Amino acid sequence: MLLKRLKWPLRILAGLIALVVLLAIVAYFNRVHILVALMKNDAFVEWAGTFEPGENYTASLQGSYPVAACQNSHVDFGEAVRRTVSLDGVWDVEEGPLSDTAPEAFAHRAPVPGLITEATPSFSEMGKKSKQRDVFWYRTRFNAPNTP
């Protein structure tokens, strides 16, 4: 009896899922047409014009610079070659407050890229809130090449 009652709702649910999948496929293959339609919509164009070009709208953390950290590392327009320097290695690490001033002494070392739990000597109270720290500060030294 229960199976008979669920028969039509399950069919309706399956049909709705199939419809959503079909609409997603159609939208994917017509994304250019959708974008053109949006650009013809005056309200959308007015709203989109309120944003400054090149701004980062996805992250806003005190003490971080997501735009600088996430910049495109590929060659910029007009550049023939971009030289990069790998900063992978073992860095100095210290815990402390989130402020404009870095700690004076760094007593720990950790691999970068890597996890803070791999620091030596290890930090106490890892994975828990601590009154000793708001953030982990990282520091390293490297030689920048003279030529661009």
Token pair, residue 128, equals 């828990």
What's the pLDDT tens digit per position in 30-88?
A: 777 777 777 787 887 777 777 676 655 554 445 544 445 455 555 555 556 667 788 88
Per-residue pLDDT of 91-108, as tens digits, reads: 999 998 888 888 999 999
Q: Of 138, 117, 113, whose CA–CA distance to 127 is shortest?
A: 117
Is the pTM for the entire model greater than 0.85? no
User: In whole angstroms, what is the distance from residue 82 CA to residue 84 CA?
Assistant: 6
| CA distance from start to end of the chain | 77
**Could you give the count of Cα atoms lying within 13 Å of 79 in the half-sphere of its Cβ?**
9
Torsions phi, psi for 58 (to 5 deg): -100, -15
